[in-house]
Amino acid sequence: MRLWKQLAVSVVVLVVGAAAWVRFAPGAGETLAAIGVSHPLIDKLSKSQGSEGEGGRRNGRGQGGQGGFGDATLVVVRPSASAIVNDRLNAIGNGEAIHSVTVTPTATGNLTEILVKSGDRIAEGQVIARLDSDDQKVAAEQARLTRDSAAEKLQRYRNLSSARAVTAVEVRDTEIALQAAELALRTAELDLKRRDIVAPSKGVVGIITVNVGDYVTTSTPIAVVDDRSQILVDFWVPERFASKIFVDQPVTANAIAQPGRQLEGVIHAIDNRLDQASRTLRVRARLENPDDMLRAGMSFSVTMAFDGDRFPTVDPLAIQWSSDGSYIWRVKDDRSERVPVKIIQRNPDKVLVDAAVAEGDRIVTEGVQRLRDGGAVRVAGEKRREPEQKVAGEAQ
């Protein structure tokens, strides 16, 4: 583009901009006249603006609307409300029997009997299997004979000691021999008893994985016995709930495999430390299982209720940001007031904030761009009370 065309376009842009400024900016014409700039079009626009302003003032109107509020900013407000957070906890946990034990032999040997089957209910101390015990039976009989012989010898020595046929030392040696024989008998009987594999607790027998004739050791699992009269559910809770949970606190749970059935329980145990990787606390709940419908290994949805924390809520559009952080605009006495806030939780339809905001306060959601602290505002949809005017000729 040639230079003269660029100059022409620039002049046109300047004239149009000046005309728009004079047309819409109050006092622009007077400013230009004061610095010696004058043009018929500018004078015409300035007079037009002045006449409109006078007419508006005569009619009690301004650019902002009726009632003499020409400088007031038009805004849209919504009342603040309140909501509660941290009042409910939902977690998924795994169930375990109140007492579960894996039964193993206390000695090594070959299985000769299995006295229970999977699914049987057994009592504490009940024999569930036996190992071969021939050698132990022989050893026990031999120890019993030795004990009986030592007891008879001691009785003879005591009779002879009354006739002074034996010394007191010989009687004492015989007593010690009897005590040793009794200890040997007890050891032999204990070895024989260990050939019986007994249940250390009551419960239901799981699947038995061994057969008669198998050679087992002290680390071979014979069966798993679960006492499922109560079910323990382990779950993890966020760190913010750690100080709100205590033992025997009520909980409700639902088995994922049994929807619609609500279970009542209490907190059974709380871990003494948080997991540093997940910042969560391990908690164990206890559920009653009187009808034996629950099983170890089930997954449960656990719910806990708390008092919670109440915070004011505002519309998401009301949140504004500056170098000092987040804030909102509140309308009070037809004036805008800037209120700093701290965001607690964001939801699609509301934002929970920590601020000096009361429920029902009018919070600006639209028109925030032209607001200033303490500036006059006009709320859209609200009628303003007209100022009282004297009627012409009233004083006459």
CA 183 and chain centroid, separation: 59
What is the rounded distance in angstroms from the CA atom of residue 153 to the CA atom of residue 162?
15
Q: Report yes or no on 34 lying in a domain.
A: yes
Position 43 scores a pLDDT of 55
Compare 391 and 330 and report the one with higher pLDDT. 330
Q: Report yes or no on 387 lying in a domain.
A: no
Q: Report yes or no on 110 lying in a domain.
A: no
Pairing status of strand 377-379 against strand 73-79: parallel
Position 30 scores a pLDDT of 57
Tokens of 233: 């559910």
Q: What is the pLDDT of residues 143-161, one digit of tens each?
A: 999 999 999 998 888 888 7
Average pLDDT over residues 283-309: 92
What is the rounded distance in angstroms from the CA atom of residue 318 to the CA atom of residue 336?
13
Question: Each residue of 41-72: b (16+ CB within 10 Å) or e?
Answer: ebeebbeebeeeeeeeeeeebbebeebbbbeb
Percent of the chain residues topping a pLDDT of 90? 58
Specify the CATH number for the domain of residue 284: 2.40.30.170
Same domain, 300 and 257: yes
Average pLDDT over residues 384-391: 50
Helices H, strands E: what count in the chain? 5, 24
Within 8 A by CB and 6+ apart from 382, the residues are none
Specify the CATH number for the domain of residue 175: 1.10.287.470
Task: Give me the domain span that covers residue 300.
Answer: 90-97+221-306
Task: Tell me the pLDDT of the chain averaged across its residues.
Answer: 84
Q: 138 in helix, strand or coil?
A: helix
Q: Answer with the one of 273, 306, 339 that is the final residue of a domain.
A: 306
pLDDT band at 307 (very low <50, low <70, confident <90, very high): confident
Domain count, the chain: 4
Position 395 scores a pLDDT of 42
Q: What is the pLDDT of residues 84-138, one digit of tens each?
A: 887 889 999 999 999 999 999 999 999 999 999 999 999 999 999 999 999 999 9
> Are 299 and 94 a contacting pair, CB within 8 Å?
yes
Same domain, 317 and 302: no
Same domain, 157 and 232: no
Q: Report yes or no on 234 lying in a domain.
A: yes
Task: Check whether 381 has a pLDDT greater than 60.
Answer: yes
Cα dihedral 30, 34, 35, 39, rounded to 10, equals: 50
Position 296 scores a pLDDT of 92
Q: What is the pLDDT of residues 218-248, one digit of tens each?
A: 999 999 999 999 999 999 999 988 888 999 9
Same domain, 302 and 225: yes
Tokens of 281: 């606390």
Q: Among 29-43, 72-86, 164-178, where is mean pLDDT lowest?
A: 29-43
Q: Report yes or no on 109 lying in a domain.
A: no
Task: Check whether 327 has a pLDDT greater than 90.
Answer: yes
Q: What is the pLDDT of residues 40-96, one digit of tens each?
A: 555 554 455 444 444 444 444 444 444 444 578 899 999 999 998 878 899 999 999
Q: Report yes or no on 111 lying in a domain.
A: no
pLDDT band at 259 (very low <50, low <70, confident <90, very high): confident
pLDDT band at 24 (very low <50, low <70, confident <90, very high): low
Position 70 scores a pLDDT of 52
Same domain, 225 and 289: yes
Same domain, 290 and 263: yes
Task: Check whether 33 has a pLDDT greater than 90.
Answer: no
Q: Report yes or no on 69 lying in a domain.
A: no
Same domain, 334 and 289: no
Q: Answer with the one of 280, 306, 332 that is the final residue of a domain.
A: 306
Same domain, 171 and 248: no
Specify the CATH number for the domain of residue 363: 2.40.420.20
Task: Check whether 16 has a pLDDT greater than 90.
Answer: no
Burial of 188 (0-12, 13-18, 19+ CB in 10 A): buried
Pairing status of strand 203-205 against strand 362-366: unpaired
Position 340 scores a pLDDT of 94
Same domain, 301 and 336: no
Q: Report yes or no on 211 lying in a domain.
A: no
Compare 10 and 304 and report the one with higher pLDDT. 304
Q: Answer with the one of 289, 306, 323 that is the final residue of a domain.
A: 306
Side-chain half-sphere exposure of 211, counting CA atoms within 13 A: 1
pLDDT band at 294 (very low <50, low <70, confident <90, very high): very high
Same domain, 168 and 229: no
pLDDT band at 165 (very low <50, low <70, confident <90, very high): confident
Same domain, 225 and 292: yes
Same domain, 227 and 299: yes
> Are 154 and 139 a contacting pair, CB within 8 Å?
no
Single out the residue of 52, 36, 41 nearest to residue 15, CA to CA: 41
Compare 24 and 4 and report the one with higher pLDDT. 4
Task: Check whether 38 has a pLDDT greater than 80.
Answer: no
Position 384 scores a pLDDT of 60
